Amino acid sequence: MPSILNIRAPVRSEGAGQKPREPRRRPEHLLTVNDVYEELDRRIGKNRVYELVRSGDLPAKRIGSQYFVARRSLDAWLDEVETPQSHDS
């Protein structure tokens, strides 16, 4: 009887004429936390970007272990931060 430990998963071979898979590219409109940090010319730290994302102040989606911010969300957040709304009291 074969041991379970000796069973190997089948190896996927690149057949004749098949190209190796290329890594998936991230759509340009999605930014990582590092991209946001660079876009802001490092005016705020990466930890602050993470805080903004986790608090919901900067809308983002988490996929796996990374957060992704839509460029339009970053632009809207920047407009909001740079032009504070006046409060009529």
Considering only CA atoms, which of 80, 36, 37 is closest in space to residue 57? Answer: 80
Residue 5 has pLDDT above 60, yes or no: no
Q: Please give the pLDDT value at position 27.
A: 78
Confidence of residue 70 (pLDDT cuts 50, 70, 90): very high
Residue type, 12: R
Instruction: Provide the token pair at 35.
Output: 């991209």
Each residue's pLDDT tens digit, 17-32:
677 777 777 778 899 9
What's the pTM value of the predicted model, to 2 decimals?
0.64
Among 63, 73, 67, smallest CA distance to 51 is for 67
Mean pLDDT of the chain: 82
Q: What domains are defined for the chain?
A: 26-81 (1.10.10)
| Higher-confidence position of 12 and 77 | 77
